[in-house]
Each structure stands twice: as structure tokens, then as C-alpha cells.
Structure 1
Amino acid sequence: MRLCAKVATIAGLLVAGWAPAAGAQVQPATPRIETYKTLGDVSLKAHVFAPAGDAAAPRPAALIFHGGGWVAGEPAWTYGAARVLNGQGLVAIPIEYRLSRQGVTPADALADACDAFAWARANAARLGIDPARVAGYGVSAGGQLVATAGLGGCPGGTKGPDLMLLWSPALDLARDGWFRKLMGGADPSSISPVSLAARGGPPAAIVQGAADTLTPLRGAEAFCAGLKAAGGPCELHVYPGLGHLLTRNLKNQESDFDIDPEADRDGDARLNAFLAARGYGRP
């Protein structure tokens, strides 16, 4: 797998990401931005999309983590997914995390992700969310953050997501050269989801292109197999002939995306159904 910085055009793709379901509420164009963590002069932001109207009970939530090979990206890349989740009744929160540069590694990004889950639960009453229904949604490199947090990989035992939604996720990283380089000599298997899957974790649903060369199908298969062997549910939805993020352009899966619209809509529907079946959204 090669997840490099050459992914800037994912931004437009993921902003356009999930198309709103028929009958979904029209949501605000911009979120409320809050600080969830401060490190010296660095403030990491949570972009909160709250559904319109008052709720009779706390709502489920989804913290969303963008892709970008751990070296690029921003929360706005996942605004499209956030608005659709929001329209299904969830409080959707794209999360900023530290990118790997100048001594920062994916382990630091994982610590940020874990702190974001802790922040959401600590502020559940103010945010109007149910602290027992906080999902994680991860795209590509963001999938590694969600999955590792969900499998007990958070520093200090911080609780990760209660449910995992993973789109073209980076899961098998123990021997990945790019990830090993970013880890700066630390053992990549310690935060590789496939290496941790035997621990078991919360329910997971994965959308995966069969011809993905950046985050190959074998990683998703091994991850799901590990979760199931530990007694946990895992749905794997595979799309033949499609690459990373369900692109039809198999020659360049890093930047020149040609997303298959039918597969994209089907993937959205699969994740929506997975959420609704577990009390996280509307059928």
C-alpha cells in the first residue's frame, strides 16, 4: 500500500461524497467549530453539524476522520458525509487531527482521535448526544484511526467508537513501508488494525473496492475475519473492478479519481442501513 501526500483532490471528492437521501432535511452549510484539544499553541477543532430542531432524547453521533495518507487533509473533506449523517438524525462531527510532519507520527494522530472521542462523551449533554452511541467514520487513513481506537488501541485505555464505519480503510499496516516510515522507527503493528483485530471490537461496516491498490482488499478481509473470530459483527461490501474510494480509474488511484456513481450510492445505502439497524439513524 502507498498512501502519500499526492491526494489533494480527494477534498472535492469527499465534500461531494454522500448524496442526501430523498426526504432528508436540508442542513446548515457550515458547522459550529469548537476546540476539543490544545497542545501548546496548536488548537485542534471539532466541526459540529447538529440536526435542526429539538430532540426528545439525546441523539447518536458520528465522529468523522478524513483520509490523506496521514500527511494531508482537513475536516472539510468530509463535510458531504457529515451532512448526510446529519440529515439522518445524527450529530455529525468531522475531526481535525495532527498530520505527520516535523516529528508528528500517526501515533500522535491516533492520540488526537482518542481524545476527540473522550471530548464528545464528556460534553455529551451540551452537544445533545448519547454517550453510548458515538460512532466513528473513517476514510482511508482515517479508517486506521477509527479502527485502532475501536479495538482498544487508545493510549490510557480511552474508549473509542461504539460502532465503526470504514470507507476504503487502511487496515493492514504492520509491514507497510510508507506507514513504517511515518512511524519514525516505532513498531507499526502496535496500531495496525489487522494486528489488533483478534481483540474484538464494536460492530463494523466496510465499503471497499476490489481493485484498490492503496488500501488493498486483503486488509479488509483479514480485519473482518479477525473481528468475526472474536465474536463481533463485521460487514464487508466489496465492489468488483473499482479501486480506492471506488474509483474507476485504476491506473491512478492517488489523485485522479473517477468515482463510480452507482457503487458510491450503494455504499452509502449499505452504511445507512447498518446505522439504522443499530439504532443510529432512520431506516
Structure 2
Amino acid sequence: MPTVLALLHILGCVLLAAVFFSPAGVPTLVHLLKGILREYSLMMLVPALFTALVAVWCAHADVWKWLRWGTAASALVVGVLAIWPAGSAWRMARANGLPLDLRAYLRPLVGARPLPSQTVRFAEIAGRELHADIFLPQDSSPLPRPAVLYLHGGGWRGGERAYARAWADFLTAKGYVLIALDYRLFPPATGMTAPGDVKCGIRWVKDHAASYGIDPARLVLFGESAGGHLAMLAAYSAGDSRLPSSCGSAADTSVAAVISFYAPGDLVAHAAHNADTLVGFTGAPLAGHRELYELLSPIHHIGPRAPPTLLLHGGADSVVPPEASQEMAARLAQFGVPHALFTLPYAEHGFDIWDGGFGRQLARGRVGPFLQQYAPVE
């Protein structure tokens, strides 16, 4: 019995470690579990503790010597993996003066999320209706409010605007109107249309700002992953006739600031990690179409007049390497654009999707002050 129990615990610990360190290209479920383990790493203290108890039991039982050492080593490894992400998050929080809440950490992975106040159709393009979910603050104000325009992730071919609900309570409680925008997904290829859909949405918000008590001069684009790419591309290419609004209007689509989470900024570089997806998005391979990839890369549209930008990225991101945001920060610095890069060393792609995770808490701690600095609520 001790032998079987020890073997099972060693196998369980090996599986946990394998998921924790799983590389890019693993099945979606494994990637999802990896993100959960890293955001809620303290949960692994439970198997570490039980394995340690088994190791103590084996030390006094008639089992192979390597099993005694194996269970002890397994307990130690999983214990270290449990403590490292949480410890890293706490160090970052202390260094940046950000709060972390253990009670929030112990809540369900995904709790109740609010429904939008309204859903409207802001455009119909090539037979496709584009909608916007609008989340309004509960308290009334006679003054125009700033608005955050949210763009979901999903590799340009999936995802939905409902992802914005994860941020709705946080933003509306601070007095911001949150508007989640649709954009067309591939297939067919949408590289030359999705940025225009975003600009169409920006223009619609500006044209209807008075109806929702919004100040059109205080709009912030906020995107995650593919949405972060489109947020930066639309913001930095405002006025560029090569990437026009899908609505056919040449009106102003500038924004006050941009927030981008774990997004590729250089599609030429990103093609080395995700060539097939980019072929679907752009409609062409990189070979022979480098100019197209550069046109659709936010990094090539940065100039002195680019809006202030907040970049957040996981240091262990296996989907979009953290170098993507580091290169964006370097280019923004080159042109003197106000910006901030916040890297979570332990975090995977999508670190903010879990309601109580330290990644979400740290992200909120950076997003709130950034919004107040560049699109303040009066």
C-alpha cells in the first residue's frame, strides 16, 4: 500500500510540474490549466502537503529507498512551484504599491458578471452587423464621462465582445463608460478590414457621445491579445489613408490613450511563432508580403504623436512572447511617447481572465491609475 500511494503521488506531482512548464503549442485545455496553476499556485500547497505526509510515512515503511527520496523531492518541487508565482506577485505588488486581496483570491475562478446596459448595432458592413455592448455607471453625473472601448482577444478568428464583462464592474465603479466593440473575424481574411471596423466603432462612439454622457476627447482603447494588437494599430494609424475606417468616413478616430495586454506589435516577428494564424488573418504568407505585414504592425505606425500607452505582459507567455511588448516599449521610448510596461514574470497568456487571481488584481492596480492620468473622471 505505501508503495502504490507513493507512486501515485509522485506521478501526480510530475503531471502538475509538466502542466506548469508546458510549452507553446499544447492543447487548449492544457494551456488553460497552466494559466490556472500559475494564477492560483497556492492551491498546489495541498498536493505538496499530502505528498510530504506520504514521504514521512514511506520513511518508516518497508519501501524502496528511491521512493522515499522521490516522494520527498516531489513534495519539495510542487511546494516551490506553489510559492514562486504567489511570491512573485506579492513582491511586484509591494514594489509598485499595489494591493493584493487574499479574500478575492479565494473566490470562484469566474464569478457573476454584469450584463450590458444596452446593446446597439453601430454598423453593417458587407452584410455583417457589428454590435457594441454598453456598460453605464450606476451613478448619474451632469458632466461628460470618459469611455473605455474594449476589443476582445481570440487570435483574430475567435472570441467575443462579452469578454468585456470581466472588466465592467471595475471600470463603471470608477465612473467610466465601457463599450465593447465587435470587429470582423477571419475567415475570410480580415487584416485589412478589422482595423477599419475598430475605427468605425470609435467614430460611432464620438458621433453618439452626447447620448451616453461621454466626452469624445477622453476615449481609451483597451484590447487583449489580438484585441490589443488592433487597439494599438487603430490608435497609432489614425488618419492613415492606407487603413481607413470601414464606415467610409475620413472623420477623426484619434483616442486619448491605449491599453494593450499581451499583444503582438510586430507581425513580421510574430510570424515566427504563429505563421498559420497570421496567414489566415492577413490572407497571405510573410514570404513575398512583408510590406503587408509591416502595414498591419502597430510598431511601424508609432510616431511622436502616438497616444500614451500602457503595456502588460506575462513573462511566461507561451502564445505571444514578452519580447513583443518590450519591443513596443522601446519604440515608444524612441519617439518620446508616454508609456509604461508592466511584466508579470510568472504569468501566462490571458493572466487576467480569472476573477480573483493575482494577475487580475495586479492588472487592475495598473489600469486604474493609468486611466486616471490620461482620461480622468472629473
Residue by residue, what CA displacement relative to the aligned partner does 1:146-187 show, whole Å, maximum 9, x if unpaired?
000111254157424321111112222124123244201261
Q: Which moved more, 1:74-83 or 1:272-281?
A: 272-281
Query: Does 2:257 correspond to 1:152?
Result: no
- Compared CA separation, residues 111 and 60, structure 1 to 2 (3 A): same
Residue by residue, what CA displacement relative to the aligned partner does 1:98-143 show, whole Å, maximum 9, x if unpaired?
1111x34132111110100010001111121001001000000000
Q: Which residue of 2 aligns with 1:236?
A: 341
Q: Is the 8 A contact 1:110 1:149 kept in 2?
A: yes
Query: Does 2:221 correspond to 1:136?
Result: yes
Q: How many angstroms does 1:5 deviate by?
A: 11
- Compared CA separation, residues 4 and 281, structure 1 to 2 (3 A): farther
Inter-partner Cα distance in structure 1 for 2:174 and 2:27: 32
- Compared CA separation, residues 199 and 232, structure 1 to 2 (3 A): closer
Q: Based on CA coordinates, which of the two structures has the bigger radius of gyration?
A: 2
- Compared CA separation, residues 4 and 33, structure 1 to 2 (3 A): farther
- Compared CA separation, residues 244 and 259, structure 1 to 2 (3 A): farther
TM-score with structure 2 setting the length: 0.62
- Compared CA separation, residues 259 and 32, structure 1 to 2 (3 A): closer
Unpaired runs of 5+ residues, structure 1, are 14-20, 248-256
Inter-partner Cα distance in structure 2 for 1:258 and 1:180: 30
Q: Which residue of 2 aligns with 1:62?
A: 148
Q: Is the 8 A contact 2:161 2:180 kept in 1?
A: yes
- What is the aligned counterpart of 2:173 among 87, 102, 112? 87
TM-score with structure 1 setting the length: 0.81
**RMSD of equivalent CA atoms:** 3.1
Letter in 2 for 1:82: A
Query: Does 2:303 correspond to 1:179?
Result: no
SS of 1:107's equivalent? coil
Query: Does 2:117 correspond to 1:31?
Result: yes
Inter-partner Cα distance in structure 1 for 2:338 and 2:350: 23
More helix by share: 2
Letter in 2 for 1:273: P
Q: Counterparts in 2 of 1:154-233, with a 5 A limit?
A: 154-155=243-244, 156=250, 158-175=252-269, 176=271, 177=275, 178-185=277-284, 187-198=292-303, 200-233=305-338
Sequence identity (%): 26
Q: How many angstroms does 1:38 deviate by?
A: 0.8
Q: Which residue of 2 aligns with 1:262?
A: 358
Q: Which residue of 1 aligns with 2:376?
A: 280
